[in-house]
Chains A and B, each alone.
Chain A
Amino acid sequence: MKKIEAIIKPFKLDDVKEALNEIGIQGMTIVEVKGYGRQKGHKEIYRGAEYIVDFIPKIKIELVVDSQVVDKVVETIKKAANTGKIGDGKIFVLSVEQAIRVRTGETGKDAI
């Protein structure tokens, strides 16, 4: 099992969600996050006052999937979230030791 964490631009959420649904992934956790990487913050100037956005709003998608489909999922997210510009985001893949469904006690693949 792998956990996939993807940081994407907010307006790409629908595209990514749809693309994942298409390949049969339905469950995911979505968090509104802020941060910056190479795409530094920027500012808007209005009437001489600077409105600085140092942390840029992003969406984080988290999902745990079976190791066999990781590549497919990553590829799907990559394709759907791409605008070709800086700040399109990053995808992380982490190993997951165990998953348990609280209600039934199922573990491993069955629990995700």
Chain B
Amino acid sequence: MSFALYLPYYILKPDITIIVIIMAEHPSTILKQKRTDLISSFLEDNNEDFLEQHSRLFDDYFCGVFEESAVGPRMNIVKNPYAVVALGGYGRQEQCIWSDIDLLILFRDKITTEAEDLIREIVYPLWDIGLQVGYSTMTKKECLNLAKDDFEVLMSVLDSRFICGMSKVYFDFKKELMGTFANSRSEKITSWLVENNHIRHQRFGDSTYLLEPNLKDGNGGLRDYHTLLWIAGIKSDLKQPRDLEYYGYLTHDEFEALTEALYFIWNVRNRNHQIAGRKCDQIYIEYQIKLSAFYYPEVSDIHEQVERFMSKLHGHMELIKHQYQMFLAEMGYVGSKKLKKGFFRKHTPIKGLIVKKNMLNFVSLEAVLKSPELLINIFEESMRLKVHLSTEAKRVVKEMSHLVNEDFRSSPGVAKSFENILVTHVPGFTILNEMLNTDFLVRFLPEFKKIVNRVQYDEYHLYTVDKHLLRTVQTLKKFGINEDTDNYQLFHEFYKEIPDRKTMLWAALFHDIGKGEEGKSHADQGAEIVKPILKRMGYKPEFVEIVSFLIREHLFLIKVATRRDINDEMTAISCARKIKDINLLKMLYLLTVADSMATGPKAWNDWIAVLLRELFLKVMHILENGELATTEAVKAVDEKKKRILASVAKKEDIKNLEFLIENMSPRYLLYVSAEDILDHIMLFNNLGDSEFAWNISSGMDSDTRTVSICAKNSPGLFSRLSSIFTLYNLNILDAQIYTWRNNIALDIFTVTPPMDSIFEDDIWSRAKKDLLSVLSGDLDVDNRLQASMLASRKEYKHLLKRPHQVKIDNDSSSFFTIIEVFAYDFPGLLFSITNIFFRLKLDVHIAKVATKLDQVVDVFYIRDLNGEKIENSEQLSELKKTIEDVLDTNN
């Protein structure tokens, strides 16, 4: 075979192309075929040694090409020895389907000019069959120098493996390389590795929670394992992964578990490569469906399939992450920082525990067996002293978990410790996570079992249920620390004000516990599941009720904020009536915020934050102002509704009434008696298409008349109605107006009776006619009144100026501007004021007018014609001045 035949086709001359086609036995062709066979056998029945066999195929290829090389002999391996070396993943024999192949041609003395030809001979054919190959040619000296300066290079040569050529070149090199790791340098490299991996984690996120985890670079990914391997390799010159166990870095069981986890991850990685058709280590959602169909063919529901698959994957990645963290902790690292020797000297007063090398430990196994409470004490101490548990201690907690039994769970001391851990926030310490990782949490709260590693297969939830619950607790506790931003300020204030935060934190810990159950809403189920747990922990029934309520309603505020009209007062009132208590509202709000924040960016953003805060503040106002949402109010309204509904018998009538009640405003239902409401309903039924319907009744002592008017609300209605009374010289003693939500106005006036009591009926029917003309615009009541008021003014003119006051309150209600007028009465007062509202295009929604002797107290709830409060300060001062002017001229 001549050299030319091995060239890739594109540099061949056209006339010899045909020769290439018949050269079927070129190693690259064989490689391609064997690879196809190996991959398909792997895909079918999970060949356990796939990675090794796959790597070996490449070894065979390189050896084959090398043996038959045309350039090789010319390079004179005896005079200028060299070796072909595998690097990186290929060096570790972890060659996945589409992983890169990294190759080094290592020369003992100098690089010959033929090296380039050799590369062409062995690397180009691989490119032609679609593989990614990276290569470098270096002398031993160059490579050692480079490895000294560039840790990336160092790591890849650490994993190197001899393939073919002169073996002595390679083994001499490796020996020299290991010799360069003097103590100080190995520390420096370790720090770099830890830091580097830390940065990678920040970039790729925590795969143990993420929806689309990265198998290689994320937290709990293969790189964690590699970093562990490298560090141990530098310190102890490992020859193979199993040495981790022999050198005491891992126990036998840990190594077994690690191997199993790695095997699964590599298996998934290979399949992911195959599905993607390229090197791809991110498990995208669309791939998850295909992958899970392979692993769980017996499960018919596709969501269930994916959830099961992802739970398993997360579980394995969690193990790697955990193993890596324990390893780092033993090396003296906390996070990515190494602790200085003897920097902290902490002591624990608890018998049976000891602080060693700044790690918390059990004194002995016997101590734990003798007093099992140590299993929880150690976590509490870890939190108090801000010292982590040692690897050994975590191991003991895991292995002794059978001691956490029924007696342990119901011990008051243990419950107290757990509560302490739950409510205390220590920045940088997530004790609950430690408890989860060591299986303690699940032993202690067996109800957690069903949700551990439970993935929620959607784009909303980034974390598994168990992690989400712990994150919610952590987020909530963070509100306890003052943060600068405006939003946090509010959370912080509330957090501090809540008298018993424990209920809220328990609710945070359990709010999604119902997700492990089938069927109805998880919030309802969770509210029930939590009851026996808290009872067993010794909490009082009232305490349990609050936690249960918070869990049941943990989605309530967010649902209302996004799905109801928060500018409708009724929305806020019904929230307030459901929650009833200010502290409960605050807790529910904080829980909602923490829950959303801990879910992921799709659940918490500025958009939702604004909606939720607005609703919250509105409900808060209503609860703080009391009247509308107190228990008594709710009860009174309920009783009224019952009485009203009892007045009719037919199903259809009941339905109609229910509809009307639904439309009545909250204040109306609260302040108007059931009898009056029934009268008003009758009026409403009489209204039909007419302009208004009214009803006049005498008061008990018959020197007053109550005129109830029902009409479709329109701007200025109130003002026109009151004008009629002024026109007929009837003094308005009291007036209340209510607007139903279906735009029906009910105005109830208490007035003095007409002077002429004999012809009273006659007067009323004339008044009715005039009112019709006023409402239809035929009668210009304004001018007539101005004239008559001017005439009567002199009569009423007082010698002394009498004080009056106009107060504008924009704070008490989120929905109305409240105007209070205190003044001395004069004829047409109510008309004058309401006429101002009409002229300024303001709508009176509610009014309460009361006269005591000659003093008047008027309260108006007004909005502009768009249904908004009046917030423009110029408009407000104009309004105030206009009213004051009227009061001045008539005083």
Contact = CB atoms under 8 A, between A and B. Distances in A.
Given A43-B871, A45-B811, A34 B617 contact: no
Given A14-B563, A32-B605, A51-B617, A86 B610 contact: no
A112 B607 CA distance: 29
Interface in B552-592: 562-567
B564 A11 contact: yes
Interface string A1-31: 0000000011101100000000000000000
A43 B351 CA distance: 58
B611 A57 contact: yes
Nearest to B624: A46
Contact of A85 (B567, B621, B871): B567
Contacts of A56: 610
B620 A86 contact: no
A91 B704 CA distance: 55
Interface stretch (B753-761, B769-777, B861-869): B861-869
B866 A42 contact: no
B618 interface: yes
Given A45-B811, A85-B567, A85-B867, A11 B562 contact: yes
Nearest to B620: A46
Contacts of B606: 34
B814 interface: yes
B871 to A, nearest CB: 6
A39 B866 CA distance: 9
- Interface residues of B toward A: which range? 20 to 34
Nearest to A31: B607
Interface string B849-867: 0000000000000000011
A32 B561 CA distance: 14
Nearest to B612: A57
A63 B613 CA distance: 30
Given A9-B565, A11-B565, A14-B563, A51 B868 contact: no
B729 to A, nearest CB: 39
Contacts of A45: 810-811
Contacts of A67: none
Contacts of B565: 9, 11, 83
A110 interface: no
Contact of B563 (A11, A34, A43, A44): A11
A42 to B, nearest CB: 6
Contacts of A39: 866, 868
A53 B610 contact: yes
Interface in A56-99: 56-57, 83, 85-87
A9 B869 CA distance: 18
A73 B811 CA distance: 42
A34 B866 contact: no
Contacts of A32: 605, 607-608
Contacts of A85: 567, 866-867
Contacts of A9: 565
B808 to A, nearest CB: 13
Contacts of A86: 866-868
Interface string B612-645: 0110011011000000000000000000000000
A83 B867 CA distance: 11
Q: Choose among A46, A55, A85 the residue with the greatest number of B CB atoms under 10 Å from its CB.
A: A46
Nearest to B812: A45
B558 to A, nearest CB: 12
Interface in B450-498: 490
Contact of B871 (A14, A34, A42, A57): A42
Nearest to B489: A49
- Interface residues of A toward B: which range? 20 to 34
B605 A44 contact: no
Nearest to B562: A10
Contacts of A57: 607-608, 610-611
Contacts of A13: 563
Contacts of B605: 32
Interface in A36-50: 39, 42-46
Nearest to B617: A44
A43 B614 CA distance: 9
Nearest to B867: A85
A42 B868 contact: yes
Contacts of A34: 606-607, 610
Contacts of A51: 490, 613-614, 617
B656 to A, nearest CB: 23
Contacts of A10: 562-563, 611
A38 B490 CA distance: 29
A52 to B, nearest CB: 10
B46 to A, nearest CB: 32
Contacts of B618: 44
B549 to A, nearest CB: 24
Given A10-B562, A11-B562, A34-B607, A44 B868 contact: no
A12 to B, nearest CB: 8
Nearest to A38: B866
Nearest to A10: B562
B568 to A, nearest CB: 9
Contact of A53 (B614, B867, B868): B614
Contacts of B871: 42-43
Contacts of B566: 11
A39 B811 CA distance: 20
A44 B608 CA distance: 16
A94 to B, nearest CB: 24
Contacts of A42: 868-869, 871
Contacts of B607: 32-34, 57
A109 B150 CA distance: 58
Contacts of B814: 44
Nearest to A42: B871
A38 to B, nearest CB: 8
Nearest to B571: A11
A61 to B, nearest CB: 15
Q: Choose among B607, B617, B620, B621 the residue with the greatest number of A CB atoms under 10 Å from its CB.
A: B607
Contacts of B811: 45
A29 to B, nearest CB: 15
Q: Choose among A39, A51, A56 the residue with the greatest number of B CB atoms under 10 Å from its CB.
A: A51
Given A32-B605, A85-B567, A85-B866, A44 B614 contact: yes
B587 to A, nearest CB: 17
Contact of A46 (B563, B608, B617): B617
A26 B611 CA distance: 27
Contacts of B611: 10, 57
B555 to A, nearest CB: 15
Contacts of A46: 490, 617, 620-621
B818 to A, nearest CB: 13
A27 to B, nearest CB: 17
Interface in B862-891: 866-869, 871
B263 to A, nearest CB: 36
B208 to A, nearest CB: 29
A31 to B, nearest CB: 10
A85 B391 CA distance: 64
Interface in B798-816: 810-811, 814
Nearest to A56: B610
A37 to B, nearest CB: 12
A19 to B, nearest CB: 16
A107 B610 CA distance: 41
Interface in B828-866: 866
Contacts of A14: 563
Q: Top 7 closest A-B pairs, CB basis? A: A86-B866, A44-B617, A32-B607, A85-B867, A57-B607, A57-B611, A11-B563
13 contacts: A9-B565, A10-B563, A13-B563, A14-B563, A34-B610, A39-B868, A42-B869, A44-B613, A44-B614, A45-B811, A51-B613, A57-B608, A86-B868
Interface of B: 490, 562-567, 605-608, 610-611, 613-614, 617-618, 620-621, 810-811, 814, 866-869, 871
Given A46-B620, A51-B613, A83-B565, 4 more contacts: A11-B564, A11-B566, A34-B610, A56-B610
